[in-house]
Amino acid sequence: MAKEETTRSLSKRLQNVKTTAEANTFVEAQATNREAFHEMLQAQLCRKGMEIKDLLEHSNVSRNYIYNILNGERTRPGRDHVLALCIGSGMNFTETNRALESLKLAPLYPRDERDVRIAVCINQGICDVTQVNLLLDEHGLLPLQV
C-alpha cells in the first residue's frame, strides 16, 4: 500500500480544487486509497495470530456482528463497535484512527475525555473491552456500547 497522506496534506490539496472534474478526481483518488475495515481487521488478526474466538472474547462484540464485518456484509458498523474491535484485536492508536477514518467515523478526539481515556487504554496495550469499560465507568464516562 502506498504511503497514506495526512489529513493536513489532503486539506492543502483540497484548497486548490475548484471544478467539478477536479473534485471527482480528488474523491476517486481517496476512495481507491481507502482500505476496507474488514480487510484491516483480517490483516490485524493474522499479524497477531488471533482467531475469531479471541476477538469475541476481547471485544465483547457478538459472533454474528463480527462475522458480518469480516465477510464484508456489514459495511457501516457503529463507532463503538469499531473501537471495540480495534481494541479487541490489539490495534495501536494509529491503526485505530485509520480504521475509524476508513469508515468515515470520527477519529479519537483529544478534546473529548472519553476518547482520551480510550486512547490511553490503547496506548497501554489494553486489549480487552471489559477493562476499558471499567476504566470509563470509574471516571463516570459512558462505556463502549457493543
pLDDT (tens digit, 9 = 90+) per residue, 68-105?
A: 999 988 888 999 999 999 999 999 999 999 999 989 89
Q: Give the per-residue pLDDT at 29.
A: 74
pTM of the model: 0.79
Let me know if residue 5 belongs to a domain. Answer: no
Q: Is residue 6 part of a domain?
A: no
> Percent of the chain at pLDDT above 90?
71
Whether pLDDT at 2 is above 60:
no
Residue 9 lies in a domain: no
Cell of 38: 474488514
Range of the domain at 64: 22-138
In a domain, 76, yes or no: yes
Cβ(96)–Cβ(102) under 8 Å?
no
Query: Is residue 51, in this structure, part of any structural domain at all?
Result: yes
Kindly state the helix (H) or strand (E) to which residue 41 belongs, with its residue range: helix 37-48
Distance between CA 109 and CA 18 in Å, rounded? 30
AA identity, residue 69 = I
Pick from 135, 43, 40: nearest CA to 82: 40
Query: Does residue 38 fall inside a structural domain?
Result: yes
In a domain, 8, yes or no: no
Spell out the residues 6+ positions from residue 89 whose beta carbon is closer than 8 angstroms to its own: 41, 44, 45, 48, 50, 55, 58, 59, 127
> What integer best gives the mean pLDDT of the chain?
90
Question: Per the structure, how many domains does the chain have?
Answer: 1
pLDDT band at 8 (very low <50, low <70, confident <90, very high): confident
13 is a domain residue: no
Measured distance CA(142)–CA(138) in Å, rounded: 10
